[in-house]
Structures are given as structure tokens and as C-alpha cells.
Amino acid sequence: MTDIIGLLNLRDVNFYHELNANRPLAAVPFAGKFRLIDFTLSSLVNADVGDIGILLPISSNSIMDHIRGGKEWNLAKIKDGLFYLPPDPDDVHIKEGCSINSYFKNMRFVDRGLKKYIILSFCDSAYNADFNKIMEEHESTKSDVTMIYSIQNRNLSGRSRTLTVDKDDNVTKISPFGNTKIGDKLFLRCLIMECKTFKEIVVEAHAEGKTSLCEEINARLDKLKVHGYKYTEYVAKIDSLADYFRASMDLLNLNIWKELFFNGDRRIHSKVKNEIPTKYLDNAKVQNSLLANGAVVDGTVENSILSRRVTIGEKAIVRNSILMQYCKIGEGAILDGVVCDKSVTISPGRVIKGTPEKPYYISKGMKL
């Protein structure tokens, strides 16, 4: 499927919490090794989409440092490949769901590709999409737009759009952002349409001073055939710290771990770090956890996720916690229900406790 461009909108995020206070949501480290953007980016390249633009938000250092030229995703190419679309001052404070202006200003990226379709995604969820299959369904149903949704199966704290879908899988309503409940058809903020349709809608909306693409599609449901694609595999939505914690704990379920990372030949690609394999020392007691290469463990670890270059000191105990890169847990320290951002140092003997509903968050670089 190479007649497609991908457009990743990292600007339009409708919530801020501890994890994305100082970084784009798409850059949030997840699963001990990846960043949220890896999932969407990998899904696109796994379907041979080789022409991908990224609408960068402000403070995009972590994104650009992580993706760089796109080599690991096969996007460092002479023709097509990866395109960074930096923001200008107007793009800094985008209200939720209001990206028409961004699309209008970057229509050159859509035009240059000379491709038929565009897949637009916001990279706020982790799931392993088979875009080949989704495109097939889009084409076989002769739809103008496909919107990907999943059935909500747990309580979520964020604000999302939901879809109303009829028995022929046509979308009959796109609701505004709001609280959602179990059983709702949660829009995964991923759409497919022809580039010319996208351009028509955006140009018209922009001329009329309208701001939201989804609302424009909603207003045109009588003219456009909008297909609801039901994604049935695992999706991690990261709308809050509590959601992040729960989604991370989901990864300790081997079936979910496989659904995300061993799904046919659709691998999730990430920046190469060349870390040494995980090292277990004499006092290691690790159970029900995920451990990244580069981690060194000499203590107890249960129900937790350890990222690269995390060191667990002798007899330290880490339970129900998520430790991002470079965290150092001192000897005898005890952590339970904690989310440590990068490079946190916990002194020997410190005890820190949180709960799954309210995990104790320690920000980047803190020394406790």
C-alpha cells in the first residue's frame, strides 16, 4: 500500500497530566522501551506507508531526538520518507480538536506526495494496527472516510469523541469531546480518506473560519460515506497518569504483550540503543515484570516495568511500579505504586508508596 501518506498530528492534545506536562504526549515512554509515537509510526511503515509528515508541537526535542531521520522505520530515504512539519507561534495553543489551521498551513506536504490517500493519526494510543487490512475494508466498502474506533472496556478518565455507527458500519454521528463510559465506541483519533477529500474539507473549513476536522465531517455525513472500522485488539489509551499506570500493568498480561509486540510480522520499531541484555545479579527476585535491555537488577521486582539503564540496588524492593530510563533505586529502598520519570534517583532505604488509582509520580531527574 504505497499510495498513501501518513500525517501524524502531535499538536492537538486535549489533556495534560504529569507525563506530558513537559513533553509531547507522543513522546511518553511506554512499555519499558518504546514511546507512544512508535506504535502509530510502526503501524504505518508496516503497511509500506513511506511518506510520513509529523506536525510537531512546541518542545519537540524528545520526538526529534527519538526519531531523527527515521532510519529505524525505514524512512531515511532519498524520495519521500520522513518530513518534520514544525509549528509557528500560532500553532502553540491548539484547543482540543481544532487543527484545521494546522492542516491548511501544511497542505503543501499533502500535495507534494502525489498520493491518493491520507491516514491521519494523533498518536495518543498504543495499538498495533494492520493498515493493510483497514485500507482493504475502506476500499471494499467504497467509503469516503474511515474512522477507527474500539469498544471501551474499562473506565477511562480522559475526554474522547465517540461514534454512533449503524448496522452497516456507517458512522451516523461523531460526538464532541466528553467523558465516556464502558461500551462506548471510542474514536481512536485515526482517520483515512482521499487526499483530495481532505484538502476540500480543510480548504472549505478554513475559508469559513471553522476549526475542527471531525466536526466538519460530522456536518457532511449526508454527503460522505463514513465507515466505522472496529478495531478489536488491545488498545492502551493514555489519557491520564492513572490510565497510563493501568495500561502499563496490562502489558504484564502475556496475551496483551503478544498482541502488541508479536502480532504477525507487524513489529513495533523504535530507536536503536544498543544496550546490553538485562542483567540479573545474585539477589535478583523478579516476578511478573517486564525488563528492558540495559537494566541491572539486584533486588526484588514485582508487577513492574523497568526501562533501560535502570538499576535496582541490593535488596531494594520495587512493586507495582514503572521506572523509566536511567532510574537508580538505592539499596534497600522500597517503591510501591510509583511512576518514576527518567533519571530519578531514589536513595538507599527510602520508602515511597502510591496506589493504582493514584500512583506516586516522581518527575524527571528528581533525587529523593
Partner 1 sequence: MHKTECMAMILAGGKGSRLGALTKHLAKPGVLFGSKYRIIDFPLSNCRNSGITTVGILTQYQPLELNWYIGNGNAWDLDAVVGGTFILPPYMGDDDDASNSWYQGTADAIYQNLNFVDLIDPDYVLILSGDHIYAMDYDKMLSFHKAHKAAVTVSTIEVPWEEASRFGIMAADATERITEFKEKPSHPKSNKASMGIYIFNKDILVKYLKNDAKDKTSAHDFGKNIIPNLLANKERLYSYTFPGYWKDVGTIESLWEANMDLLEEHPKLQLDNPKWRIYSGNRDYPPHYAGPKAKIKKSLVGEGSQILGTIDHSVIFYDVIVAAGAKVSNSVVMPGTVIEKGAIVDNAIVGESCHIYEKGKVQGTKEKVFLLGHHKNVHSEEK
- CB closer to partner 1 out of 24 and 294: 294
List the one residue out of 6, 28, 23, 25 whose CA is nearest residue 14. Answer: 25
List the one residue out of 38, 43, 48, 50 whose CA is nearest residue 10. Answer: 38
Among 125, 212, 270, 345, binds partner 1 (CB under 8 A): 270
Among 276, 349, 351, 367, binds partner 1 (CB under 8 A): 276
Dihedral-angle region of residue 179 (phi above 0 means left; psi in -120 to 50 means alpha; beta otherwise): beta
Q: Which residues ranging from 68 to 127 are in contact with partner 1 (CB under 8 A)?
A: 71-72
Residue 108 dihedral angles phi and psi, to the nearest 5°: -60, -35
DSSP string over 310-342: -EE-TT-EEES-EE-TT-EE-TT-EEESEEE-T
Among 107, 219, 284, 368, binds partner 1 (CB under 8 A): 284
Count of beta carbons in the 10 Å neighbourhood of residue 76? 13
- Give min distance, CB of 134 to partner 1, in A: 21
- Give min distance, CB of 234 to partner 1, in A: 13
Q: Which residues ranging from 212 to 251 are in contact with partner 1 (CB under 8 A)?
A: none
Q: Which residues ranging from 41 to 70 are in contact with partner 1 (CB under 8 A)?
A: 42
Number of residues that bind partner 1 (CB under 8 A): 42
Q: From 146-154, 193-201, 242-250, 292-300, give the range in contact with partner 1 by CB under 8 A.
A: 292-300
Q: Does 319 bind partner 1 (CB under 8 A)?
A: no
Among 203, 280, 332, 366, binds partner 1 (CB under 8 A): 280
Q: Name every residue whose Cβ is closer than 8 Å to that of residue 217 and which is 6 or more positions away in sequence.
A: 145, 147, 174, 191, 201, 224, 226
Q: Which residues ranging from 2 to 41 are in contact with partner 1 (CB under 8 A)?
A: 31-34
- CB closer to partner 1 out of 31 and 118: 31
C-alpha cell at 188: 481512536
Q: Name every residue whose Cβ is closer than 8 Å to that of residue 282 and which is 6 or more positions away in sequence.
A: 298
State the residues that interact with partner 1 by CB under 8 A.
31-34, 42, 71-72, 252, 254, 257, 260-262, 267-270, 272, 274-282, 284-294, 301, 305-307
